[in-house]
Structure 1
Amino acid sequence: MPEAMPAVAEATREVQWNVPDAFVWIMYISMVVALAVMAYGVWQRVRIWMAGKPEVRWDRPGQRLRRVLVHALGQGRLLKQRLPGIAHALLFYAFIVLFVGTLVVMIHHDLGIPILRGRFYLYFHSLALDVFGALATVGLAVFFWRRYGLRPGQLEKGKRADFLLLLGLLVIMVTGFVLEGIRLVVTGDPWAFWSPFGYLTGLALAAVLPAEGALRAVHAGTWLLHMLTWHAWLAALPYSKAFHLVTGPLNIFFSNLDAKGEPKPMDLEDETASLGARTVLDFTWKQLLDLDACTECGRCEAACPAFAEGKPLSPKRVILDLRDHVRAHRDDLLRAKAAQLAGDQETYESIVEHLPILAGGVIKEETLWACTTCRACEEACPVFIEHVPTILDMRRYLAMEKAEMPETLASAMESLETRQHPYRGASADRTDWYKDLPVKTMAELDDPEEIEYLYWVGCAGAFDERVQKVARAVARVMDRAGIKFAVLGPEEQCTGDPARRSGNEYHYAMLAQANVETLNGYKVKRIVTHCPHCLQQLKHEYKRFGGHYEVIHHSELVFKLMEEGKLELARELHRSLQVTYHDPCYLGRYNDVYDAPRQVLDGLGTRRVEMARSRERSFCCGAGGAHMWYEDKSGGKINRNRAEEAVRTGADVVVTGCPFCLAMMETGIKGVAGAEERGVRVRDFVELVEEALADPAGAVAGGEAGGAAGT
């Protein structure tokens, strides 16, 4: 008669089976040493973060925890790239489950609380741990194959520490299966089938080493290797890239919940403060945490339009070079911070004076100016590193402390200071575009509060002849829909976005304060603008100057009017038109407006096709970050890269919702072979809406750009 199977309630196992007492003592001693070494390393990292300037990043804990759940626990951004994302998720979840399994053993054995038994033992500690261990091994195999087989260019190469990190984890996983398998086979464990992968490993080893004594010897030696490898890996955690297990979730929790890409506030009245970031001590603690959170995955670099066109910028290298600089000068930075806290300003300044300057030193000037501030890097980063504000901090130092910037950009900034707009050779004024339209200024109204919207035209709409057509189309559409609106006319000034993005905070603050004073003087509540850069300022960044308004993009307003039936449109006009929509960076990644422009195009009846990179993955046109005002001659043309992608869709019309994108795409299209012969045009979507407007008699009104035939 075969021996009866024990009851499920009796299911358990012996902890530390076949482990000599000396090995157990080694385990406890090495564990204490590993935890001490790890704690010291963590403290050294925290000390560096504390050397940064203060910044509030712990408000709204509910929103922050949700972000951690989605993007740390849920691996949200990582899974956007399938192969590495799935491999990382397998390893991440397995690490959590196996770590909990280790805690269960500690509670059961070291604390004497008998929880390792019954169904919990079978379902969790046998089956779940076995399956997750196998999944972790698969994930590690993928990482090895990708890093040393596929070798994608975005990964850091030749780092022995990366190899040892992966090898250590693989040793831990493989030895774990060996230990489990030998125990199951030698003891004849009746619950062996609940650990399928471990049991198969044990059967394979037993086939090679049939003698029980040999298996026991292998088990004991493997147990020692497994334990010491785990403790060594634990001790190395804060000194290696693996520390992103800690810094990643922390960085996600403390990530920006306010205006995306906004530079940190500056106290321009503090004469002792550095203008911009001269040294890393001018960064906030969160910016220093960013440096330690980097996983070196290279997703930011792969998404960067400047890097794609061979310009001297890699967002990854900016972060890593700053991180390496911090580590190389750690002692000096800590001494300087200690002196500052002690009130010893002389010692502090003496140390800081001998630290390398960041802008133009640690990070080359041409690297900083190559950034278009498109935020593709930030959108791709799985741990929410904020590259753009850090780059802008260093630009501030160049622009304000060293008074250095590209020549043509400096000329635009001079025009901004003297004429309140960056268009150097413009002969028009802010009223020319609407002189023959039924448009009123706020100053002309008896009661400015009666209007529904202030239309913020922006500098491009006022001074760029091509964009004036967009402004006129917006005005005509609002007028046809019966919207009560007005403009500031000559009272409108540049929002200051080009100044802020080029690092000149003085010019920006002057313009922002003047505009807020004007808007608040008229008690403006709601604003519509066709410029995403103006949208960013008016909706988000003006809040620090007392400007609190409801601001929408013209695509949102037009779609709302279409939904409400306030626009009579000849939808058949564009049914044969194939269009592709280019997402402007400051409309999409900065303001999350993706659907409204597409809904307008769909409402017009166009045949819409998407580019390979769209929505949050949209490729920059190259105009952001004040690049509209100077030509970056290094590398290739960002706008041509995007124009080629647009033309490849086969679209007749490339549609966008930004005046700068309009200009850059029109220029880019001219450099694409065959595009002009095919008659590919670039339009703002509101121009298509204007063309489809039907007059009261039912005829198509047509627009300035030539109507349907002109498309």
Structure 2
Amino acid sequence: MDTQMLIRIVVGVLMTAIVGVFAVKRVLWLTKLIRSGQPVSESNNRKDNLRKRITTQFEEVFGQTRLLKWSIPGIAHFFTMWGFFILASVYLEAFGLLFDHDFHIPLIGRWDALGFLQDFFAVAVLLGIITFAIIRLTREPKKLGRESRFYGSHTGGAWLILFMIFNVIWTYALVRGAAVNTDALPYGNGAFFSQFMGWIMAPLGYTANVWIETLALLAHIAIMLVFLLIVLHSKHLHIGLAPINVTFKRMPDGLGPLLPVESKGEIVDFEDPAEDAVLGRGKIEDFTWKGYLDFTTCTECGRCQSQCPAWNTGKPLSPKLVIMNLRDHMFAKAPYFLDGKESPLENTPEGGLGEELRGEKKSEEHSHEHVPESGFERVMGSGPDQATRPLVGTAEELGVIDPDVLWSCTTCGACVEQCPVDIEHIDHIVDMRRYQVMMESEFPGELGVLFKNLETKGNPWGQNAKDRTNWIDEVDFDVPVFGKDVDSFEGYEYLFWVGCAGAFEDRAKKTTKAVAELLATAGVKYLVLGEGETCNGDSARRSGNEFLFQQLAAQNVETLNDLFEGVERVDRKVVVTCPHCFNTLGREYPQLNGNYTVLHHTQLLNRLIRDKKLVPVKSSESGMDITYHDPCYLGRHNKEYSAPRELIGASGAKLTEMPRHADRGLCCGAGGARMWMEEHIGKRVNVERSEEAVDTGASAIATGCPFCRVMMTDGVDDVAATRDVEKPEVLDVAQLLLGSLDKGSVTLPEKGT
């Protein structure tokens, strides 16, 4: 054995052994941490439908389908990720070369095709990190401030990773180039980059290339080992954890329903809750193992932040920073709860760790740059050590999550939709709201009015139930009411669920009447519940008042089950005009034994047009220029983008899309119970969206949601007043269709028939 081989073996094995010990120790600790999270209930099964889960993992991890939605960074990431998969064969060869100068992988180690792939992806990775560097330089937070999606991220760590990848590539180039000149490269001309490097290094001579090969080989292995340690102690944990998080994500079509309240792995029975039941998440130990997995998987890429309507309008909420702060708090507090100790908030007289444990300064790992704006100081890190903070702060006490952050969320789902590693931001935000509402009675004052109206009147407006049928008096055709005009669903095809907005809000009532007339024109047999309806509970649930949601939902399920008694599941058809009703009745009521076939009115109307039961004509009036606003709970939450657009086309209108539309559409600002809360910080979300709509130059704005219609109408009023421009009309797609309808000789049923 010559001197160089001895150096290779001793140094290479020693480095690998030392790093291996630290790496294994870290992996075991992370595994223990994630497994320490609260269990999930059987209904929140994360291990069902394994075939689909594995298929999804292949699509999202190996196919990079989510990342490729953003083409340039997506392509760069695709080749970088696959580069590391392919270059794993290079590291196998590198460790083999420690012991054997002529080592090659058995069977495939001399194939030119493999040599070509290794070189191709080495060059692709180099181009990829150059692309990332350019993106980061042009989107630098110090230049762009809040407009940068990297704002608040640990940018130093990102640059370190890019530097380490660069080190991997240049040491690879030296090893391969030298190997060409020492006859150690097992590949021919297929390894084009290696042959090129060999040509450059050939003038150095054989002896120099031998030493370069040895030194570069050891450097190549050392860099990768250091890279491994950096990954295990940084945001780049996602390299190993992303495939796991994708595998165990929720698997609905769309974003899916909110999960029931769980405590210690069991769904809370609100009729008889356990005395020690924790309603929501009040401290980091209350989160499930999937929550811990979410926190540790975050890549800090900021895609969620860039799409968040709250962040884009000056609010302190960034979905990215919420997850980052929860992660930092979890890591800081983990040494206590992992060993079964009481939390530092509970085991010291002053509620702190003490000087000797806390230290004078926060760890750099757990700090974010300070932002001197309302609410941001507490969000981004000044104050006591992370481990001593309460989960949600108050006006007097610094928390991991600021109340302004918690209550700014519209639950629009843009963060979940854009996250490349399937973090479930909304679930965590709503769970923290649940604890604040049901355990602490801490919530914005406006919600107190909402809760009272829902409890006493069964609707957010506080109107009397008898007024739910007032809209029927304003139409000149018959609308049968269950329990008043008819006593059975027999002979009817649909229940028309009008909803609170559709019954009480003047603008939404226009949609209700348009849909009722369209259904009657098409000869659809339908009835309504009238006073039998009560609020579906969407706003109560998303504001954290699960107890109130359960009451409202149980009442509605009882009413609906009574209506559909004896009717087959597939024939229990409900049509709604509100996407929030659509989502709640169709996707959340099954949690309470309420199983129905729920259609949004745009879906049913589209079907009626295809069946020629409605025949629109392209009149001059219906040929207006329209822009369409996607309701979040119809689009992102339930993946219905085509039906409303097809109706706009069928009506003869010209559709002009806003820059942000479909799965990247901007929320109107009403979701997550924000409809009932004032916006005290930053720009109003509905004004931001209305400006975008007005900028298209369209003469009208169409939508398919009563909440969106209210918010867009108010927003357009503000925009028209400040810009002195002509105000576009805001209307529902159903009204647009009705205006272009060829009713022919259809005779609507007269009242009382």
- Equivalent residue runs for 1:679-694 within 5 Å: 679-694=727-742
- Cross-structure match for 1:68: 57
Greater Cα shift, 370-379 or 139-148:
139-148
Q: Is the 8 A contact 1:611 1:649 kept in 2?
A: yes
Deviation of 1:453 (Å): 0.8
- Cross-structure match for 1:526: 573
Q: Distance in 2 between matches of 1:323 and 1:158?
A: 13
- Of the three residues 193, 196, 221, the one matched with 1:227 is 221
Q: Distance in 1 between matches of 2:523 and 2:627?
A: 30
- Cross-structure match for 2:325: 321
Q: Distance in 1 between matches of 2:351 and 2:246?
A: 32
Q: Distance in 2 between matches of 1:620 and 1:310?
A: 14
- Cross-structure match for 2:246: 252
- Cross-structure match for 1:7: none
Other structure's SS at 1:527 match: strand
Cα deviations by residue, 1:620-675 (Å, 9 ceiling, x for unpaired): 00000111111111100111111111111121111000000000001111122488
Question: Does 2:35 correspond to 1:50?
Answer: yes
Deviation of 1:366 (Å): 0.8
Q: Is the 8 A contact 2:9 2:99 kept in 1?
A: no
- Cross-structure match for 2:7: 22
Greater Cα shift, 649-658 or 221-230:
221-230
- Cross-structure match for 1:6: none
Q: Is the 8 A contact 1:101 1:125 kept in 2?
A: no
Other structure's SS at 1:455 match: strand
Partner letter of residue 42 of structure 1?
V
- Equivalent residue runs for 1:238-637 within 5 Å: 238-258=232-252, 260=255, 262-266=257-261, 267=268, 268=270, 269-336=273-340, 356-360=389-393, 361-424=399-462, 429-435=467-473, 436=475, 437-443=477-483, 444-523=485-564, 525-574=572-621, 576-637=623-684
Q: Distance in 1 between matches of 2:102 and 2:497?
A: 69
Other structure's SS at 1:310 match: coil
Question: Does 2:108 correspond to 1:139?
Answer: no
Q: Distance in 1 between matches of 2:643 and 2:709?
A: 18
Other structure's SS at 1:430 match: helix
Partner letter of residue 591 of structure 2?
R
Cα deviations by residue, 1:321-360 (Å, 9 ceiling, x for unpaired): 0000001111112134x899xxxxx99xx99999642122
Q: 1:216 to 1:357 in 2, by over 3 A?
A: same
- Cross-structure match for 1:709: none
Q: Distance in 2 between matches of 1:655 and 1:676?
A: 21
- Cross-structure match for 1:708: none
Other structure's SS at 1:571 match: coil
- Cross-structure match for 1:32: 17
Other structure's SS at 1:678 match: coil
Deviation of 1:446 (Å): 4.2
Partner letter of residue 548 of structure 1?
N
Q: Distance in 2 between matches of 1:352 and 1:517?
A: 50
- Whichever structure has more helix as a proportion of its residues is 1
**Alignment identity in percent?**
35
Q: 1:179 to 1:114 in 2, by over 3 A?
A: closer
Deviation of 1:164 (Å): 2.5
Q: Is the 8 A contact 1:530 1:553 kept in 2?
A: yes
- Cross-structure match for 2:163: 167
Deviation of 1:376 (Å): 0.4
Q: 1:158 to 1:234 in 2, by over 3 A?
A: closer
Greater Cα shift, 397-406 or 248-257:
397-406
Deviation of 1:487 (Å): 0.9
Q: Distance in 2 between matches of 1:18 and 1:127?
A: 32
Cα deviations by residue, 1:523-577 (Å, 9 ceiling, x for unpaired): 1611000000001110111111001111010000000000000013333244531
Other structure's SS at 1:301 match: helix
Deviation of 1:66 (Å): 1.8
Cα deviations by residue, 1:381-438 (Å, 9 ceiling, x for unpaired): 0001110110011111221122122222211111011101010367971111113441
Q: Distance in 2 between matches of 1:29 and 1:561?
A: 73
Greater Cα shift, 567-576 or 247-256:
567-576
Deviation of 1:585 (Å): 0.3
Other structure's SS at 1:572 match: coil
Q: Is the 8 A contact 1:263 1:393 kept in 2?
A: no
Deviation of 1:149 (Å): 5.1
Partner letter of residue 472 of structure 2?
Y
Other structure's SS at 2:701 match: strand
Gaps of 5+ in 1: 1-15, 341-345, 702-711
Q: Distance in 1 between matches of 2:612 and 2:389?
A: 62
Q: Distance in 2 between matches of 1:685 and 1:426?
A: 28
Other structure's SS at 2:598 match: strand
Q: Distance in 2 between matches of 1:169 and 1:375?
A: 33
- Equivalent residue runs for 1:665-684 within 5 Å: 665-673=712-720, 677-684=725-732
- Cross-structure match for 1:12: none
Q: Is the 8 A contact 1:359 1:395 kept in 2?
A: no
Partner letter of residue 100 of structure 1?
S
Deviation of 1:265 (Å): 1.5
User: What is the TM-score with the length of structure 2 in the denominator?
Assistant: 0.84
Partner letter of residue 678 of structure 1?
E
Deviation of 1:519 (Å): 0.5
Deviation of 1:150 (Å): 4.3
Q: 1:544 to 1:113 in 2, by over 3 A?
A: farther
Q: 1:456 to 1:108 in 2, by over 3 A?
A: farther
Q: Is the 8 A contact 1:77 1:382 kept in 2?
A: yes
Q: Distance in 1 between matches of 2:77 and 2:592?
A: 43
Q: Distance in 1 between matches of 2:154 and 2:418?
A: 24
Q: Distance in 1 between matches of 2:95 and 2:218?
A: 17
Q: Distance in 1 between matches of 2:2 and 2:590?
A: 65
Q: Distance in 2 between matches of 1:142 and 1:681?
A: 44
Q: Is the 8 A contact 1:474 1:554 kept in 2?
A: yes
Q: Distance in 1 between matches of 2:6 and 2:296?
A: 40
Deviation of 1:123 (Å): 2.6
Greater Cα shift, 266-275 or 408-417:
266-275
Q: Distance in 2 between matches of 1:160 and 1:453?
A: 58
Gaps of 5+ in 2: 142-147, 262-267, 354-386, 394-398, 749-753
Greater Cα shift, 192-201 or 284-293:
192-201
| Cα RMSD after superposing both structures | 2.9
Q: Is the 8 A contact 2:690 2:715 kept in 1?
A: yes
- Cross-structure match for 1:648: 695
- Cross-structure match for 1:660: 707
Q: Distance in 2 between matches of 1:149 and 1:676?
A: 35
Partner letter of residue 97 of structure 1?
I
Q: Is the 8 A contact 2:282 2:392 kept in 1?
A: yes
Other structure's SS at 1:579 match: strand
Deviation of 1:42 (Å): 1.6
Q: 1:447 to 1:190 in 2, by over 3 A?
A: closer
Q: 1:546 to 1:188 in 2, by over 3 A?
A: closer
- Of the three residues 187, 190, 194, the one matched with 1:194 is 190
Deviation of 1:146 (Å): 2.4
Q: 1:48 to 1:189 in 2, by over 3 A?
A: closer
Other structure's SS at 1:255 match: coil
